[in-house]
Amino acid sequence: MSFAPQRVEQEWTVDAPASLVWDVLGHTDRLNRDAGLPSVQISSFDDEDIGRPVRARLYGLLPLAWTEYPFEWVRGSTYSVQRDYTRGPLVRFRGGVEILPAGSGCTVRMFAELTPRNLLGKLAIPLVGRDTLQKAKAYCAKAIAQLQAPQVGPPTTPGSVPTGRADRTALQPCARRLGVVASLDQGIVGRLLRHLDEGGDDEVLRMQPYALAARWRTDPHETLRVFLHATRAGLLSLRWQLLCPNCRVPTGEAETLSRVERQFHCDTCGIDYDANLDRFMELRFRVHPTIRSAQDLVFCFGGPYLAPHILIQHLLRPGDRRELSVTLDDEAYRIRTLRRNDSLLLLPGRPAGDGPRLAAYRETGWEADDRSFSPGPFSLAWRNETDQIIGVVLERLRWDDRAVTAAKVAALQEFRDLFGSEVLAPGLEIGVDSVTILFSDLKESTRLYEEAGDAPAYGHVRRHFDFLKERIARHQGAVVKTIGDAVMAVFHRPADGVGCGLAIQRDLPSFNASLPDRPPLVIKLGLHHGPAIAINANGLLDYFGRTVNVASRLLRESVGGDLVLAKDDLEDVLVREMLAESRATIVAEWTCALRGIAQPLPLCRIKAAG
């Protein structure tokens, strides 16, 4: 006996912008958790099937099994998902959300269409369906109220921290250790303590400092510093997340850098990829188990919250054609098929003709007459010309700047000071797409030792190391190592490295004046930006490769009191802005053949404003 589908709906108005409502309802894992749905166990894909086997237990008793197909969504406005059941009281579930702007707020429409397998399913659907939608509506109201609430200063002393889920006995001594670190923003410390105590389990297991800084309206770098010190104090644990370069979903996790392997597999995309410190390795944090016991359960694994870079995701059956409209920024985008991973690059330009752009997918891949677009409103029609169902996405190529990547945190002096043991496994080499290397050296240091004597000269050199380290750390860099009188430093962004070099030269006269009984020092600086290889060198995280070699050669071109870099490094927008703000001067430009470097490089010499 077959049963007809039954539909339950809920519609309500929300006094909040559609973008905020999307952020709340688009987090389907949290939505399902609050709505009382069961946690799920996810199996691997079967061959090239686009659906994924999933199991759960309703109310902890009734076993369910289904094939879940990829969510479909248009970011900011609508999403839906279909599940075909192989076990349980249902044959099929299809549900979703539509968000419609209405004045200063919006209207939310939530629906579930369920096909019962038996009489139990037919009788239970109206009751369970309405109850679940009511809970989803309540979750939406609660979450939006929390996000819209004024940012009231949280408690900053351990004694005033309310204890709901955290262990007060374990929490208080850790909080006291944080309280004595004078350089930390105690307002951020208080917010973290409250978050660990009051946040849901999912909110304290894979914390992203920059994302929480946006939510707390705090400085991102200062928030990251609090997280690092909180880990050292025993409140948190580090976790290195390995992200798939395709879907950008975590596919692996390591407790320390030494346990990171060179290659990983993404089951969702069906690809192997090499680990990379820049994009594919992100530092996240979780509450320490002695502070709070949090269950790591999954309630939804395919919602739009996991893929903020994907604007549109659709399923296309054989012969399907769908048109869509979206607003594109002045940056690169990509059309990609799920699982098959065929892609079509879209670049900003001046396309010819009117009407929607057609992108056809065939067995040989994507085909399109025009792969350019004008930033702004954009119409696209994609068509499936194969005999199989496919999933297609339109996504940004730009990566999330709220991620604390391994490359970024490894270039922070504070991280190296607090976690000096966080290094790669011996013999493992991992690429870094973008790193800035700064070398410094003392001019005529031999004469310094001759005139002052070994012991006084060595003491003077040590003080100069402290001088350099302070400015390197201030510009979000880190000392990699010292080599005689020279220093090798690393920065995540070239602008930070250039700013540090100028600060060193600008502040050096004051440093010399503070030690009138010592010979004045003259410092040479060379800087270069580019890819490198990260390694474990005698228990320290080190870098080698062409970028490092060029930076060391540029140091030799310095005459002292200057900073030498390749002219190409001046093309960085942030570098140009920083040079303009600091009123630094380019005093020389020339092309030089550097030893061991195949092609001559155009160079420039920069001096800080007096």
CATH code, domain carrying 546: 3.30.70.1230
Single pTM value for the model: 0.88
| pLDDT in the model for residue 156 | 42
509 Cβ contact partners less than 8 Å away, ≥ 6 residues apart: none
The mean pLDDT of 271-279, rounded to a whole number, is 87
607 and 587 Cβ atoms separated by less than 8 Å: yes
Give the orientation angle of helix 220-233 with respect to helix 186-198, to 10 degrees: 60
Residue 577 confidence class, pLDDT cut points 50, 70, 90: very high
Residue 323 located in a structural domain: yes
For residues 38-50, one letter each, b for 16 or more C-beta atoms within 10 angstroms of the residue's C-beta and e for the rest, the string is bbbebeebeeeeb
Residue 144, classed as helix, strand or coil, is helix
Whether residues 38 and 105 share a domain: the answer is yes
Q: Which of 229, 206, 192, 238 is nearest to 27 (CA)?
A: 206
| pLDDT in the model for residue 155 | 45
Mean predicted lDDT score pLDDT of the chain: 90
Residue 56 located in a structural domain: yes
Q: What is the pLDDT of residues 8-21, one digit of tens each?
A: 999 999 999 999 99
For residue 575, report the phi and psi dihedrals to the nearest 5 degrees: -65, -45
Whether residues 19 and 61 share a domain: the answer is yes
Whether residues 134 and 216 share a domain: the answer is no
Q: In the predicted model, is pLDDT for residue 157 greater than 70? A: no
| pLDDT in the model for residue 469 | 96
Dihedral of CA atoms 566, 568, 569, 575 in degrees, nearest 10, equals 130
Rounded to an integer, what distance in angstroms lies between the CA atom of residue 228 and that of residue 437?
Answer: 23
Whether residues 251 and 334 share a domain: the answer is no
| pLDDT in the model for residue 152 | 55
For residue 308, report the phi and psi dihedrals to the nearest 5 degrees: -65, -15
Q: In the predicted model, is pLDDT for residue 1 greater than 80? A: no
Rounded to an integer, what distance in angstroms lies between the CA atom of residue 189 and that of residue 155?
Answer: 9
Of the three residues 105, 123, 148, the one that is the final residue of a domain is 148
Residue 353 confidence class, pLDDT cut points 50, 70, 90: low
Residue 409 located in a structural domain: no
Query: Residue 380 CA to chain centroid, in angstroms?
Result: 29
Whether residues 11 and 131 share a domain: the answer is yes
The fraction of the chain above a pLDDT of 70, given in percent, is: 95
For residues 530-543, one letter each, b for 16 or more C-beta atoms within 10 angstroms of the residue's C-beta and e for the rest, the string is bebbbbbeeeebbb
The Cβ of residue 377 has, within 10 Å, a number of other Cβ atoms equal to: 10
Of the three residues 148, 167, 194, the one that is the final residue of a domain is 148
Q: Are strands 357-362 and 376-384 parallel, antiparallel or unpaired?
A: parallel
DSSP state of 518: S
Q: Are strands 72-74 and 78-87 parallel, antiparallel or unpaired?
A: antiparallel
Q: What is the pLDDT of residues 467-478, one digit of tens each?
A: 999 999 999 999
Least confident interval from 174-178, 318-322, 445-449, 457-461: 445-449
Long-range contacts from 360-364, C-beta under 8 angstroms, 24+ separation: 360/385, 361/316, 361/337, 361/385, 361/386, 361/390, 361/392, 362/386
For residues 287-325, one letter each, b for 16 or more C-beta atoms within 10 angstroms of the residue's C-beta and e for the rest, the string is bbeebbebeeeebbbbbbbbbebbbbbbbbeeeeeeeee
Residue 453 located in a structural domain: yes
25 and 97 Cβ atoms separated by less than 8 Å: yes
Residue 559 located in a structural domain: yes
Residue 129 confidence class, pLDDT cut points 50, 70, 90: confident
Identity of the highest mean pLDDT range in 71-85, 344-358, 592-606: 71-85
Which helix (DSSP H) or strand (DSSP E) does residue 32 occupy?
A: helix 28-34
Which helix (DSSP H) or strand (DSSP E) does residue 376 occupy?
A: strand 376-384
Q: What is the pLDDT of residues 517-563, one digit of tens each?
A: 888 899 999 999 999 999 999 888 999 999 999 999 999 999 999 99
Whether residues 560 and 431 share a domain: the answer is yes
Structure tokens, 562: 């200057």
Q: In the predicted model, is pLDDT for residue 95 greater than 70? A: yes
Of the three residues 116, 148, 180, the one that is the final residue of a domain is 148
Residue 277 located in a structural domain: yes
Whether residues 142 and 65 share a domain: the answer is yes
Q: Which of 328, 331, 333 is nearest to 378 (CA)?
A: 328
293 and 24 Cβ atoms separated by less than 8 Å: no
Whether residues 286 and 315 share a domain: the answer is no
Least confident interval from 76-85, 250-259, 405-414: 250-259
Rounded to an integer, what distance in angstroms lies between the CA atom of residue 84 and that of residue 50?
Answer: 13
Whether residues 136 and 170 share a domain: the answer is no
**CATH (domain of 144):** 3.30.530.20
Structural domain containing residue 375: 310-396
Residue 151 confidence class, pLDDT cut points 50, 70, 90: low
| pLDDT in the model for residue 161 | 43
Whether residues 601 and 458 share a domain: the answer is yes
Whether residues 486 and 592 share a domain: the answer is yes
Residue 349 confidence class, pLDDT cut points 50, 70, 90: confident
Structure tokens, 436: 């800035």
How many domains does the structure of the chain reveal? 4
Residue 523 located in a structural domain: yes
Residue 403 located in a structural domain: no
Whether residues 175 and 28 share a domain: the answer is no
Dihedral of CA atoms 579, 583, 589, 593 in degrees, nearest 10, equals -50
Residue 153 confidence class, pLDDT cut points 50, 70, 90: low
499 and 579 Cβ atoms separated by less than 8 Å: no
